[in-house]
Chain A
Amino acid sequence: MTVRGRRGAPGRAGFPWSAPTWPAGLDRPAPEREVGADYDTAWARRYPARLARAVVVDNVTRPLAHVVASPRVEGVELLSLAEAPVILAANHASHLDTPLLLSVLPTGLRHRTVVAAAADHFFDRRWKAHLWAGVLNAVPIDRHRVNRRSADLAAGLLEEGWSLVIFPEGGRSPDGWFQAFRGGAAYLAVRTGRPVVPVHLAGTWRLLPKEGRGLRRGRTTVRFGTPMRPDDGEDARRFGARIERTIAAMADEASSDWWSARRRAAAGTTPPGTGPDASPWRRAWALGTDPSVAERDEPGRWAVRRRRRD
Chain B
Amino acid sequence: MSPRPGFVLEVDRSTPPTLFWHGEGFRLERLPVGSRVLYGPEPVAALEDPVSAIRGALLEPLGDSEPLAALLRPGMKLTIAFDDVSLPLPPMRRPDVRQLVIEQVLECAAEAGVDDVVLVAALALHRRMTDAELRHALGDRVYDAFAPHGLLRQHDAEDPDDLVHLGTTDQGEEVEINRRAAESDLLVYVNINLVAMDGGHKSVATGLASYRSLRYHHNPRTMQHSRSFMDQERSELHSSNWRMGRLIARSGVRVFQIETTLNTDTFPEQFRFLQRREWEWTARDRAGFLASSKALERTPPRVARTIFHSIRAPHRMTSVQAGEVEAVHARTTANVYAQQLVAVEGQSDVLTMGLPYICPYNVNSIMNPILVACLGLGYFFNMYRGAPLVRAGGVLVLSHPTPWDFHPGHHPSYIDFFEQVLTESTDPVEVAKFEQAFATDPWYVHLYRTGHAYHGVHPFYMWYWCAHALEHLGAVIVVGGDRAAVRRLGFTPATTLADALEMASDVVGPDPSVLHLHSPPLALADVRP
Contact = CB atoms under 8 A, between A and B. Distances in A.
Contact of A16 (B13, B280, B289): B289
A144 to B, nearest CB: 21
Nearest to A16: B286
B429 interface: no
Interface in A1-37: 1-3, 15-17, 19-26
Contacts of B28: 2-3, 15-16
Q: How big is the B interface, by class? A: 20 to 34
B30 A25 contact: no
A288 to B, nearest CB: 52
B290 to A, nearest CB: 6
Contact of B17 (A3, A22, A25): A3
B290 A20 contact: no
A24 B12 contact: yes
A25 B9 CA distance: 8
A1 B9 CA distance: 19
B14 interface: yes
Nearest to A18: B286
B496 A2 contact: yes
A21 B498 contact: no
Contact of B16 (A1, A2, A21, A25): A21
A20 B13 contact: no
Contact of B14 (A1, A16, A24): A24
Interface string B1-33: 000000001111111110000000001111000
A21 B29 contact: no
Contacts of B491: none
Interface string B278-308: 1111010010011000000000000000000
Most buried by A among B17, B496, B497: B17
Interface in B9-61: 9-17, 27-30
From A1, A3, A24, A25, name the one whose CB has the most chain B CB atoms within 10 angstroms: A1
Contacts of B16: 15, 20-21, 23
Contact of B290 (A17, A21, A23, A26): A17
Contacts of A3: 17, 27-30
A24 B34 CA distance: 12
Interface in A106-146: none
A25 to B, nearest CB: 5
Q: Is the interface of A mostly helix, strand, loop or mixed?
A: loop
Interface in B242-260: none
Interface string B481-523: 0000000000000001110000000000000000000000000
Given A1-B498, A2-B28, A2-B497, A20 B278 contact: yes
Contacts of A1: 29-30, 496-498
Contacts of B27: 2-3
A15 B29 contact: no
Contacts of B17: 3, 15
Contacts of B30: 1, 3
B502 to A, nearest CB: 11
A23 B278 CA distance: 10
Contacts of B290: 16-17
B241 to A, nearest CB: 41
Most buried by B among A16, A19, A21, A22: A16
Nearest to B283: A19
Given A1-B496, A1-B498, A15-B28, A23 B286 contact: no
A23 B283 contact: no
A4 to B, nearest CB: 8
B497 A23 contact: no
Given A1-B29, A16-B281, A26-B9, A21 B497 contact: no
B281 A20 contact: yes
A125 to B, nearest CB: 22
A201 to B, nearest CB: 39
Contact of B11 (A2, A15, A19, A23): A23
A26 B15 CA distance: 10
Contacts of A22: 14, 279
Nearest to A22: B279
Contacts of A17: 286, 290
B283 A21 contact: no
A22 to B, nearest CB: 5
A23 B496 contact: no
B29 A23 contact: no
A2 B17 CA distance: 9
A1 B33 CA distance: 13
A16 B293 CA distance: 11
Contacts of B278: 15, 20
A15 B497 contact: no
Interface in A198-245: none
A22 B11 CA distance: 10
A15 B283 CA distance: 11
A1 B32 CA distance: 10
Nearest to B27: A2
A243 B13 CA distance: 61
Nearest to B289: A16
A74 B498 CA distance: 80
Contacts of B289: 16
A21 B279 contact: yes
A3 to B, nearest CB: 4
Nearest to A29: B280
B14 A21 contact: yes
B165 to A, nearest CB: 54
B49 to A, nearest CB: 19
Contacts of B14: 21-24
Nearest to B37: A23
B4 to A, nearest CB: 10
A23 B286 CA distance: 17
A17 B290 CA distance: 8
A295 B513 CA distance: 84
Contacts of A2: 27-29, 496-497
A47 to B, nearest CB: 25
Contacts of B496: 1-2
A20 B279 contact: yes
Contacts of A24: 12-15
Nearest to A23: B15
Given A3-B17, A21-B279, 10 more contacts: A1-B497, A1-B498, A3-B30, A15-B278, A16-B28, A16-B290, A17-B290, A19-B283, A20-B286, A24-B15
Interface of A: 1-3, 15-17, 19-26
Interface of B: 9-17, 27-30, 278-281, 283, 286, 289-290, 496-498
- Closest 8 A-B residue pairs measured CB to CB? A20-B16, A16-B286, A3-B28, A23-B15, A1-B498, A20-B279, A21-B14, A15-B16
21 contacts: A1-B30, A1-B496, A1-B497, A2-B27, A2-B28, A2-B496, A3-B27, A15-B16, A16-B289, A16-B290, A19-B281, A20-B279, A20-B281, A21-B14, A21-B279, A22-B279, A23-B16, A24-B12, A24-B14, A25-B10, A26-B9
